[in-house]
Structure formats: C-alpha cells, structure tokens
Amino acid sequence: MTYESNKAIDANSITIDGETVPFDAGQTIMDAALAAKIHIPHLCHYPGLTPAGNCRLCMVEMNGESVAACVTQAQSGQQVSSNTPELNAARLAITQMLFVEGNHICPSCEKSGNCRLQAMGYYLGMLEEHFHQFNPRREIDASHSTVLLDRDRCILCDLCVRASRDIDKKNVFAIAGRGIHARLVVNTASGKLGDSNIEENDLAAKICPVGAILIRERSFDSPVGERIYDRRSISDTALTEHVPEKEVDRG
C-alpha cells in the first residue's frame, strides 16, 4: 500500500490499521477495505450480495468500539483497527466455534482445499478445534438430481439464502430457528431440495463457502496441489471475489 498514514484525512476517507482508505458515499468499512485491497477476514460477506452480519469474523475496532465491518457504514474520520493480535485471536475463536458447531470432517470432505472455512482456519493459524465438539445430528438432503445439501457442514452464513432470493430470484433457502436451533431449510412444502427449482448453474448452488451445498458427483475432481487454497491464501482470494456481472443482470 502506498497510502501514508500521516497524510491529512480528507473528507471521504477512513484509516484502517493506520492506512488512509478512501470511500464512496454509501460504502461500508468492508467495501472500502476491499476496494483498497485490504483484507478484513470475512466468511458471510460476498460483494454483490446484501451484507448480513452473520459470522462476526469481520469484527473491527472503530474509534474504540467493536463493529462488524460488513454492515457498518464508512464515515469520514473513522479510525479502524483490524489486523491486531486481539482481534485475530477473537476471529480464531469464532472460527473454532464454527468448526465444532457442525460436523466438519475435512479429510473426507470434497470441498477440502477449496473451502473458505478451512482456508480461514489456516489463515488464522488454527491448529486444533479447542472447544468441545457439538456433534449435532443434521440431515443430508440428496433428493435433488444435481445439487446436494449436506447440513453437517453448514455454517449458517446465509449466502445461499441471499443468492437464491436476490440474484437467482428463486428463494429456495431460509434459515429457521434461532441460536443453537438455527438450521438451513428449503422453502418447499416437503422441505426437500428435489422439490425446489434450484439448478446446477444457480448462484445459490455455487456460492456455499463450505461443502454444504455441492454439485453432485463432482467430488475430488480438482487434484491436490491444484485446489484454490493449495496455491493462494484466503487473504488474497477474498479480495477478488464478487458476484459475476451477468448474474446480477439476470436478477
């Protein structure tokens, strides 16, 4: 970065970890950071979708207050710290919680190497799960001919819900229940994916950051060494993600 921290803060800029970052009116701290190629860890944010503030990984300190960067409007003069040992420790704990709340068996999961939760674990230096496993009992839904829903791995990020509702205009998914009882449901009478109109090419079928929504029988087709996070860190890939234009147009 070439921003200089001692430069006078102009009307439309904030600082993130001492760097001056400009923003456009209406942008969140996350938007401004991404535009400036600064990585604030996040799992439930995806440029092009309305932010939801679900995962709390993007917690930053803003003028001494903890806020979620993805849902906080940028305002001139904000001094934001993100990449601090304390915040990263909190993010690590959140990531560990996400692991133990579901059933994430990375070794046999086909999303391994392409999974954003796993990549976040690596990025934050997670070496163990730390907390006790919840071992929840969750249902797998294999009723659809091309899309599989394995709730064991769902982190309730809500991305598929938003993608299906706002981009695909199909409203296939919803999150029902609260807290520990929250679960991903399918908006059909039977509750089965097979009775929904989701299709393989829908954004909702492709956006899941973990291995909860998968295209069937594609398992393990990217060889070890050629998977996304074999080559790049999530702090790098996260800067280039966005809903493709044509998908937005479709909406």
**Which residue in 21, 70, 148, 212 binds ligand FES (CB under 6 A)?**
70
86 in Cβ contact with 66 (< 8 Å): no
Q: Does 219 help bind other proteins (rule: CB under 8 A)?
A: yes
Minimum distance, C-beta of residue 57 to ligand FES, in the bound complex (Å)? 5
Q: Does 92 help bind ligand FES (rule: CB under 6 A)?
A: no
Whats the size of the chain, residue-wise?
251
Residue 41 CA to residue 99 CA, distance in Å, equals 16
Residues paired with 79 in a beta bridge: 15
Q: Does 158 help bind ligand SF4 (rule: CB under 6 A)?
A: yes
Q: Does 45 help bind ligand FES (rule: CB under 6 A)?
A: yes
Angle, helices 85-101/116-123, rounded to nearest 10 degrees: 140
222 binds, among ligand FES, ligand SF4, other proteins, none (CB under 5 to 8 A by kind): other proteins
In the three-class reduction of DSSP (H, G, I as helix; E, B as strand; rest coil), residue 22 is classed as: strand
16 in Cβ contact with 82 (< 8 Å): yes
Binding to other proteins, residues 95-134 (CB under 8 A): 107-110
Residue 58 or 74 with smaller CB distance to ligand FES:
58
Q: Does 207 help bind ligand FES (rule: CB under 6 A)?
A: no
How many CB atoms lie under 10 A from the CB of residue 122? 13
Residues that bind other proteins (CB under 8 A): 107-110, 140, 142-143, 148, 150, 216-217, 219-226
